[in-house]
Structure formats: C-alpha cells, structure tokens
Chain A
C-alpha cells in the first residue's frame, strides 16, 4: 500500500468508482410550536464522491455543510432522500447494521476542544473504536493506539494523559488518530482545521494529505474558505442555503467558475502578491444569507446575485444543477458563466 502511486484511486479497488452517492437528500428541522415551519438546512442535495478523491465542500456558515456531513455519517436521520455508501443504502440502516457500516466511515470534528471526552485518557479515546468493533486483543489494541499516535505525530507514551493537557493542534491529531483506528475507507472532515491557528492548519492539512496517500482514503473535506480547500481537494462542491450550486475539478472551479456565488467566494480570497492584491476587486455580495426557514423563490441566490434578472426567470424558476463550462463541471444557474 505504501507504494501506491499518488492519487490513483481506481487501481486498488475494482468496486464501484463512486464510494458515496447522495440522492435528492433533504433535512428539515421542524420549529417546535410553529405549525409546519422548519429550518430547511439541507434542501435537495445531489452529490457523488469518487473513491480515493478528496472532495472539498465549501459555503458560508449556516448553509447546511455540517448538517450534510452528519447526514452522510448517519449521525442525523434524513427527512427525505437516499444516501448510498459502498452500494448500501445507509439512510435505511439502524442499530447493529448501522454500527458495522460506520466502521468504514469516520469523522474528524470541527472543535478539537469539544470532540474529545474530557474524562477519558487519550489512550482510551483512541482505543474506543477498537473496543467497539472488537478489533484485536487487549495488548494488540494498546500497541495499535501507540502506532496511531506515532502516525499522527504525537508521542506514543501519551496514552495516559487527558485531553486538557494538549494544545488545539495536538488534540486535532488525537481526533485524527481516533478516526483512523478502525481503518476506514472514507473520512468526513467537518471543518477539521477551522478552529486552529493558521500555522497549525497547514500542519494538519499536510498530515491529512500524507495519510490519504498512505492509506488510499477518500475525504469529504468541509470548510468555509476556498483557500484552505484548494490545497487538499481534487474536486470542489459549493453549497448555498441547503443546495449545491456548483461542482467542478479544483482547477476548473478556480480558473473558470460558472456560478456567480462561486465567483464571489473566489474573489474574496486575498492574493499574496501586493501588486495584484491592490488591483483585486472583490465581488461584494449584498445583504445576509437569507433565512433557511423561508428560502427565496426561484434561484435561492437571486436576492444577492450581481447578475440576476429580477423580476424574471431567476426569481421564478429554480435552476437545475447541470453541465456548464469545463468537463465534469456542474452549475445551478440560468446564466452560468456570465459575469
């Protein structure tokens, strides 16, 4: 496995090249005491993740990224729709079957201070998944925990320490070790670096990349900022208000964004060249992200879109996610590609 060529996803496993399919998935959180009102956190998402790739999912806070992550990892039940992981429909699983499926799909959480049980030692935290799935004997598990600690760049003798003795970056490494413990094939990183300092972010991203190469992992990498995602992802999906508005290969999305929202997100990334930076004209979006309780009619983005025709097709008809621009690029916009 160590000789596996970089980013050669389809060679090792002959199975379905699509590891995860999200088909027309909805998640509505009803608001208690308000009749039929609901927060439409995820509102009709279609998404495919290919074996061995890193798919970056970006969008503003509150657009439903984290909810989608929890639907995919079956931590939350879907309101409607199907999620198919390695050919099995996980949206219908419960109890023991769901637990067995979870072994192949792990999650790295956003907040390294909240995602480790403060009353457990680091060794117990990392060993927990091994215990749950009955992997190896007691001794072998302890050895495995030490291996994992070494693997994520921590001292293997730290097993008796408590999470509060570690820094944020170190804690995130512990979370990564826990996720890797049961040899998953797919890992969801829910804003796994957002809570860390920039220098630590780079370390963790490099670690994730090394691990992906090493173990042929598939990542869903969630972030609210395109610059972080760019480094790690093969493909990028952009989410706005509960829907995917554009997906494309990493370079295509940066070089030829089709959706005006993607273009606005990209224009907000500072350029590390002062000459270019001075001439950079960020596209400023008007107003706030609308309420997901009552999303705008037609295209959800029309209230903030610089190129929307309102009144007109944009406020009346919802644009489907269809091919635009480059090969393998999808965008949900009536005027995709226009500036």
Chain B
C-alpha cells in the first residue's frame, strides 16, 4: 500500500505536551506526595527489617531470646533488670517478643493476601467477563460464603483442623476472598463496556488477550488498594484469634497472644498489654495509610 500521500502531509499536527511519563510513574509521584502514606510505608519497611533481623540480634546477644525465662525478674516494668521494655508473667523479654511477634503479624497479613488474590481474581474475572449463568452461579456461591460470620467460621475451621500456621492462614484467607471477588467482578463489568474493549475486539483480540492486556491492567488500581487494606484486617483477625487462644500456639510469640497473656496482670504490669496493643495499632494504621495513599495515587481522576 502506498503511504503518505503529499496531499495528507498538510494536516500534520505536531503538537503535544512536552513531558512523557508512564501512568505507573505518575502514580508513584502522587503517592510520594502523600506524607501519611510515606510515613506508613516507612513504618512497614522498618517492621519488615525488624522481622528479618530479630533472629540475628538474638544470635549476637543484642536482645533476649523470646523464649528464655528470666525467672528472677517476672513482670518487671520497662528498663528494669536488663529488660528494655519489661518482662511478662513468665519472665520473658517483652521487646524481644514484640520483635518476633512482627514476623507472625506481617506474614499473616501478606501471605493471606497472596492466597486471596488468585482466588478472588479468578472468580471475579470469570463472573464478570462471562456473565449470564456463570456469573449467577459464582455470585450466589460467593453470597453464601459471605453469609457466614467471619470469626465463627474461622473458629470452626481452626478447631476442626487444629491451630497450625497453615490452617490459620487458610482460614483467614477463606473468609476474606469474597470482598475481592466482588470488587474484581464489579471492575470487570464496568470496564467490559468501555469503548476501548470494543475497539480491541474489533481489531481482532482473542478473549484471553482481552482479559490479560486490557481488562486486568485497567482494573488493577482498585484491586491493589483492596489487597493493601486487606492486610491490616487479616493481621487484626489473627490477633483476635491469638487473644481467644485459638491462634498460633505458644510459645511462638504473637502480638495477640501477648495482649492475652498480659491482660491478666494489666494493673500490675500495664506495659505487657499496652506495648503489643500499640504495635498492632500502629501496624494497622500504617497499612491503612498506605492503602489511602495508593487509592489516591492510582485513581486516574486524581490527575494533578
């Protein structure tokens, strides 16, 4: 085909905005301008660092071993008898247990999302894209799942299968995928009707390509936000389970377990309750700040 007829050249429109910037880079710039989100991200990074480094610190005797019982110094307050943040009712060091507790909390938060993501995406995508009977079937299944009270459902699962790390992660994931599946379905339904999807179809894109190249990338923003907001709720649910005594079993230190243990001596030694509670609170807050920041950053309507 002969191209670029001279007659067409006169219409050339060379103007366009100067700077060239990807959409993800753009989102990153907006995220960085949100101070709370950056603060949250900093705190989470710090926690991750702590989680990774705490065994090393024990190895070099910089902190106590979280299982060691200093029987001579039970329930001491902060900065006493070599315990920077005090000790619990068995004489174990609170600082060290807090640091080791972050390992459980972070892995619950993040791994559970890792289980939820494929389940929720697969179900939401299938329901939204194929519609009709498949949508109906999947969404009624989701509704039934949604109808179970979360905590009771997890309690049942954990008491049937035993409180191992795997069952607890699995149980928390099983009650939390529903929200993501619904969100993904909604996103897909909204984006499916966009003209650029029709355009891709009419330029010959096969269904799989349509889903992977057009639907998913455009649905990703809200999915990321939901997943990030899911992290604190999973952490909290695990803490509640530990507090109720069906979470990760002692002697593994978890923040929920620490609150439960310290709770009996709350007046004698408040720091044993307050500190793990604060750790939970600040972690939840950090993830929520990150979620907020991401929501604003990834929303295309928030253009400068």
Q: Which positions in A face B, CB cutoff 8 Å? A: 1-2, 70, 73, 75, 99, 102-103, 105-107, 109-111, 114-120, 128-129, 132-133, 147-148, 150-155, 158, 160-162, 164-166, 169-170, 173, 175, 178-179, 181-183, 203, 206-207, 210-211, 214-215
Contacts and interface: CB of A to CB of B under 8 A. Distances in A.
B203 A132 contact: yes
10 contacts: A73-B202, A75-B202, A102-B203, A116-B199, A117-B217, A119-B23, A155-B12, A160-B20, A165-B20, A214-B5
A248 to B, nearest CB: 29
Contacts of A166: 16
Interface stretch (B41-49, B74-82, B190-198, B253-261): B190-198
A129 B196 CA distance: 13
B5 A2 contact: yes
B5 A116 contact: no
B81 to A, nearest CB: 59
Contact of A210 (B7, B194, B198, B205): B7
Nearest to B3: A147
Contacts of B4: 147, 150-151
B57 to A, nearest CB: 44
B35 to A, nearest CB: 26
Interface in B165-204: 194-196, 198-204
Contact of B199 (A107, A147, A169): A107
Contact of A153 (B3, B8, B200): B8
A247 B4 CA distance: 35
A260 B203 CA distance: 39
A170 B201 contact: no
Given A170-B13, A210-B5, A109 B23 contact: no
B60 interface: no
A129 B209 CA distance: 12
Contacts of A215: 1
B210 to A, nearest CB: 10
B214 interface: yes
A107 B202 contact: yes
Interface residues of B, number: 36
B72 interface: no
Interface in B283-303: 300, 303
A169 B202 contact: no
B149 interface: no
A207 B196 contact: no
A179 to B, nearest CB: 8
Given A114-B195, A148-B3, A203-B11, 8 more contacts: A2-B2, A117-B214, A118-B300, A132-B209, A155-B14, A155-B16, A158-B16, A215-B1
Name the residue among B3, B204, B205 with the largest chain A CB count within 10 angstroms: B204
Contacts of A116: 196, 199
A161 B217 contact: no
Contacts of B5: 2, 210, 214
Given A132-B203, A181-B203, A165 B17 contact: yes
A161 B199 contact: no
Given A109-B195, A119-B217, A132 B205 contact: yes
A174 to B, nearest CB: 11
Nearest to A122: B16
Contact of B13 (A120, A148, A154): A154
Nearest to A128: B203
B20 A175 contact: no
Contacts of A203: 11
Contacts of A70: 198
Contact of A162 (B22, B199, B201, B218): B22
A183 B203 CA distance: 11
Contacts of B201: 75
B199 A115 contact: yes
A190 to B, nearest CB: 9
B16 A115 contact: no
B7 to A, nearest CB: 6
B20 A206 contact: no
Contacts of B7: 210
Instruction: Give the 10 A-B residue pairs with the shortest CB-CB distance, closest first.
Output: A129-B203, A132-B204, A153-B11, A115-B195, A114-B195, A117-B196, A119-B217, A147-B3, A153-B12, A107-B202
B212 interface: no
A188 to B, nearest CB: 9
